[in-house]
C-alpha cells in the first residue's frame, strides 16, 4: 500500500483512549446497526487496528480496514482525507472538514473501502 503524504500512524494510535470521539481526534465508525463500534486516531496514517465497542469499551476481533461507513473529524486544525487504494494508486477519496459535531457518511464509492486517512491539505500527519 502506498503512502499518500507523511508517515503512517502507529498501530498504537488510539486517540485519547476514551469511548467518546473527543476534540482533536479523527474517528471512524463501523458500518453496523447502531454504530457502536469506533476507532479513534490522533494522526494521519493507515486504518489499522480493531474496532472498540463504545458502549462497554471492549475491543472487537473485527479489523478497521475496509469496514468503515462514516468519519467524524474532531481534529483541532485540519481537514482529513480518507482514501481507498487500488494497489499503489488512490482509487477513491473523500474530504472531511475539521470540527465536526457528528459522523459524516462515506460516499457510496468509499463505503467499506477505507484504507488510510491523512490530516491537512498540505500533507500533515
- Cβ-count burial of 7 within 10 angstroms (0-12 exposed, 13-18 middle, 19+ buried)? exposed
Q: For the chain, what are the domain ranges?
A: 26-119
Residue 86 has pLDDT above 60, yes or no: yes
Residue 121 has pLDDT above 80, yes or no: no
Binning pLDDT at 50, 70 and 90, where does residue 1 land? Answer: very low
CATH code: domain 26-119 is 2.60.20
Instruction: Reduce the DSSP state of residue 53 to 3 states and report it.
Output: strand
pLDDT above 70 coverage of the chain, percent = 84
- List pLDDT tens digits, range 21-76: 999 999 999 976 567 899 999 999 999 999 999 888 899 999 999 999 999 999 99
Report the pLDDT value the prediction gives residue 123, as an integer from 0 to 100: 58
Amino acid at each position: 500500500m502506498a503512502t499518500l503524504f507523511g508517515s503512517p500512524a502507529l498501530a498504537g494510535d488510539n486517540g485519547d483512549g476514551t469511548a467518546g470521539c473527543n476534540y482533536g481526534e479523527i474517528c471512524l465508525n463501523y458500518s453496523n446497526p447502531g454504530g457502536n463500534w469506533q476507532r479513534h486516531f490522533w494522526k494521519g496514517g493507515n486504518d489499522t487496528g480493531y474496532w472498540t465497542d463504545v458502549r462497554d469499551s471492549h475491543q472487537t476481533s473485527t479489523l478497521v480496514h475496509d469496514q468503515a461507513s462514516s468519519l467524524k473529524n474532531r481534529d483541532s486544525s485540519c481537514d482529513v482525507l480518507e482514501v481507498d487504494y487500488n494497489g499503489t494508486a488512490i482509487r477513491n477519496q473523500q474530504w472531511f472538514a475539521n470540527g465536526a459535531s457528528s459522523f459524516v457518511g462515506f460516499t457510496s464509492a468509499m463505503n467499506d473501502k477505507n484504507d488510510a486517512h491523512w490530516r491537512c491539505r498540505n500533507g500533515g500527519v
